[in-house]
Structure 1
Amino acid sequence: MPSPAAARLRARLRPAASRTERSADRSPWRCLRTPSMRWWSAANLFSNLGTWMQLTVQNLLVLQLTGSAAATGVSLAVQAAPGLLLGLVGGAAVDAWPRKLTAAVSQAVLAAVAFTTAGLVTFHLLTVPLLLVLSAVTGTIATVDGPATSLLGNDLVRREDVPSAIALGSVVHSVGRLAGTALAGVGLATVGPAGAYAVNGLSFLFVTAVVPFLKLVEQPPEPVVRPAAPAPAARRAGTVAALRDGLGYFLGRPRLVALAVICAVSSVLGRNYGLTLATLVTGPLHGGAGAYGVVSTVLAVGGTAGAVLAGRLRRPSVRLVGALAVAGAALQVVAGFSPVLLFLLVLVVPMAVVESVSDTAATTVLQTDPPARARGRVLGVWRSLSTGWGLVGPPLLGLLVQAAGARGALVAGGLVIVGVIGAGALAHGRRTARVTEVAVHPTEAVGKPVVTAA
């Protein structure tokens, strides 16, 4: 029998141990507790380095072959177009095929495309039409690879650690983008364009080699949620039926539709800082390219810090995404009135942090709200939608900048974001109140339409 002194000692140590456990459960890096996630993150970092190196070299190649910046934009648009047109098809394929096999095969095919391009460059056979065809093929494969690799990463951790995994992915993406773009210059000087493509091919093969050794975490049963539309079947006869099921599920979930509206209006009017802040710095604030470079660096650092902070999230909601979008829009309005560059730099940090946390929260909702058998199709719908507003947003915002100036575009865009999200929140509140009234006074609601809450 333990002595009273030992019992008192254990009692004093128990709260400290509990605090340590709670701290570990909220750690931004808690997803790395599983060996598979550590390997997956390392593979993704290598892959991101290769991808951004290749993308930078590809833009330089197009310029070298054509001497036209417009042709560079066309090559990027050709690579993005499949995401707009075939996103739902790619998502349906991810739902229908084994996740690990799909990710491994898609990465291997992307490696084959990179090695093919390297061979064409080596033997001086690469032409602009061939490069556009290869860009379209890469974009088509990405419609399957994107949702497959995203959902595979989530399958390596517990459900409550998914925000940590997504946030870590954001950090890996940011680091890979910065380092890969910087390494592109080194790669061109040492191994040339063909070598840069070959390095990217090797990065895809590394991911392919890692996938078979990953161990999926057995998840607890999903909570039963009554959706506004029936969940799509795991496998339906015919591709058209599967696509219709996926689209119907997305449109039948008010919270997913609300998430899409929030992200669309925020992306079009509030996230294109490369345009709005560039025109503000070089225009009203009388800064040059160097000053905007400082702003871009601060944005990148703030975004990385925000991704780390977002890793502490456990169960983010659409309401949180909306609140963060409103906060970012308010900061954007204030930024529009910046009197000097230093004032803008101070604002840029929280703007980047809010944007990064909001992105992680939105991605978590998107990847965890649908049942597991429908997540690929939901991500496919999202890919088509996000590609659409990604292509439409910059021209529209450019017209707004041209009409209202840099300050006016920032202020007007921020106010529109606040207005749209505020109106949506008000409508949701009224709908919820009506549902509550029907539940409390069912006999008084005879003949009234019953609305399913988000």
Structure 2
Amino acid sequence: MQLPNSMRALQYKNFRLYFGGQAISLIGTWMQRIAVSWLVYTLTHSSFMLGLVAFAGQIPTMLLSPYAGAYVDRHSRYKTLLITQIASMVQAGILAALVITGTHTVITIIILSIMLGIINAFDTPARQSFMILMVEKKADLPNAIALNSSMVTLARLAGPAVAGILLSSFGEGVCFFMNFLSFIAVIVSLLLMKLKTPPAKTIDEPIWQNLKEGYEYLQNSKGIRSAILLMALISFFVMPYNTLFPVYAQQIFKGNVTTFSWLNSIAGLGALMGAIYVATLRPDKDFLKIITLANLLISSCIILFSYMQNFWLALAIIMLGESGLLALIASTNTYIQTNVAENMRGRVISYYVMAFMGMQPLGSLLVGYLAHKTSAPFTLLIEGIAGIISVTAFVPAFKKAGMGKVVHPTLEKYLPKNPFK
């Protein structure tokens, strides 16, 4: 059976296994994220505490990502990923047990969030750089990344919807337990894979020397460096806007957990639209231009959403904005993955992860504090304006990097032949 061009990466058995296992696991992950936010806001009714818990769950990523990326370059990506998935399963099991038995507190939630953040600091660069091992032809790598983004956003659509039903009927503990069970799928899929991996290289240099090399590599790659720096700003100013969804659900739209679930599910639908768009793009597409336009779209939609009183119109705006946000994330990821030298992949991706996930905790903390001191709508208005200013400032840098080029001439000498062909 001939697969459509937009799904060509699924021709590889290992990627199909990964795709199926992750799809199930990520639905559970999103259920847990929704349940944690709702549980914290129900316990505290504090915007600041929402920001603090988000900060606790993501700050380890910012601190550990560079080290984790260098670690991934020196060790088996497969084994690292398997270990992090098992560890995530244990974390979900502990959280489920505490909530079901009623022995949880905000402090225990924060501690477990930190634990998950440490796991994710190693899991994300391992998972991102693992993609090349499952796709034999490098030309199909952008499609694999886009399909992976589509799978993540499908889970983001389904997870909150299921969580909304379970939260209103059974409570948060069941959501956490379902996430615990969902990790079985991804662990089994990893165990069933048969991978052709290049021989491991013995590296005698200190790991911090590898980090320095990654930094120096980025200094010589203006396009990748600019994309990562812009992602850091957007992660800080724009992406934490959904931290305030519980506040909007209860205070602005006068709703309940179902309202909260709608906000997250419609955001997932918009993200799916963005993922499908990126999946249809050719490998030689001008990704820097897409990054710029997608940034403008999500920032503008946040401004429109900030003081919106009509719930259904607000949902439409969020859906449109999230399509831009996902297009931004997937395009940035694709641009980096298709331009980075293979021997630098883990280290460069770790800097990307630090920008993408590491800056969000600082932004979440700031958003929670600002919303606590002022209001949620004013905070989102400031976020949107800051996003537009950030992307506008990077347009000259993108032009200098050479919009439209897939591999910059200055980097070609660093690119080794693909060992998987």
Fold shared by both chains (TM-score > 0.5): yes
Deviation of 1:247 (Å): 2.6
Separation in 2, partners of 1:340, 1:58: 26
Deviation of 1:43 (Å): 0.9
For residue 209 of structure 2, what is the aligned residue in structure 1? 241
Confirm or deny: 8 A CA contact 1:303 1:356 kept in the other structure.
yes
Given the alignment, which residue of 140, 147, 157 partners 2:125?
A: 147
Deviation of 1:108 (Å): 0.9
Q: RCO greater where, 1 or 2, for CA within 8 Å and sep 6 or more? A: 2
- Partner deviation per Cα, 1:408-443 (whole Å, 9 max, x = no partner): 8588547524631333246557xxxxxx9xxxxxxx
Q: Does 1:423 align with 2:396?
A: yes
Given the alignment, which residue of 196, 202, 207 partners 2:175?
A: 196
For residue 305 of structure 1, what is the aligned residue in structure 2? 273
Q: Does 1:132 align with 2:110?
A: yes
Deviation of 1:182 (Å): 2.6
- Partner deviation per Cα, 1:172-231 (whole Å, 9 max, x = no partner): 222222322232244456765444333222222321121122244789xxxxxxxxxxxx
For residue 368 of structure 1, what is the aligned residue in structure 2? 338
For residue 297 of structure 2, what is the aligned residue in structure 1? 328
Gaps of 5+ in 2: 403-408, 414-421
User: Over alpha carbons, which structure has the higher Rg?
Assistant: 1
* CA gap 1:328/1:217 in 2 versus in 1, 3 angstroms: farther
Deviation of 1:287 (Å): 8.5
Q: Does 1:319 align with 2:284?
A: no
For residue 84 of structure 1, what is the aligned residue in structure 2? 62
Deviation of 1:299 (Å): 5.1
Separation in 2, partners of 1:293, 1:369: 38
Deviation of 1:376 (Å): 1.6
* Count of matched residue positions in the alignment of Structure 1 and Structure 2: 395
Confirm or deny: 8 A CA contact 1:161 1:314 kept in the other structure.
no
Given the alignment, which residue of 7, 16, 36 partners 2:14?
A: 36
Given the alignment, which residue of 50, 74, 95 partners 1:117?
A: 95
Question: Which range moved further: 362-371 or 100-109?
Answer: 362-371
Separation in 1, partners of 2:260, 2:38: 22
Deviation of 1:292 (Å): 11
Confirm or deny: 8 A CA contact 2:85 2:187 kept in the other structure.
yes
For residue 149 of structure 2, what is the aligned residue in structure 1? 170
Deviation of 1:392 (Å): 4.4
Separation in 2, partners of 1:319, 1:70: 35
Q: Provide the TM-score with structure 1 as the length reference.
A: 0.70
Confirm or deny: 8 A CA contact 2:81 2:123 kept in the other structure.
yes
Deviation of 1:384 (Å): 1.9
For residue 440 of structure 1, what is the aligned residue in structure 2? none
* CA gap 1:241/1:305 in 2 versus in 1, 3 angstroms: same
Q: Provide the TM-score with structure 2 as the length reference.
A: 0.74
Which amino acid in 2 is paired with 1:205?
Answer: I
* CA gap 1:294/1:216 in 2 versus in 1, 3 angstroms: same
Q: Does 1:257 align with 2:236?
A: no
Which amino acid in 2 is paired with 1:382?
Answer: Y
* CA gap 1:424/1:364 in 2 versus in 1, 3 angstroms: same
Deviation of 1:349 (Å): 6.3
- Partner deviation per Cα, 1:242-279 (whole Å, 9 max, x = no partner): 22222332333212111123334445566666599999
Q: Does 1:50 align with 2:28?
A: yes
* CA gap 1:422/1:131 in 2 versus in 1, 3 angstroms: closer
Confirm or deny: 8 A CA contact 1:328 1:351 kept in the other structure.
yes
Q: Does 1:161 align with 2:129?
A: no
Percent sequence identity over matched residues? Answer: 23
- Partner deviation per Cα, 1:68-96 (whole Å, 9 max, x = no partner): 55434322211111011111111122111
* CA gap 1:70/1:273 in 2 versus in 1, 3 angstroms: closer
Confirm or deny: 8 A CA contact 1:59 1:72 kept in the other structure.
yes
Question: Which range moved further: 169-178 or 266-275?
Answer: 266-275
Cα RMSD, aligned residues only: 4.6
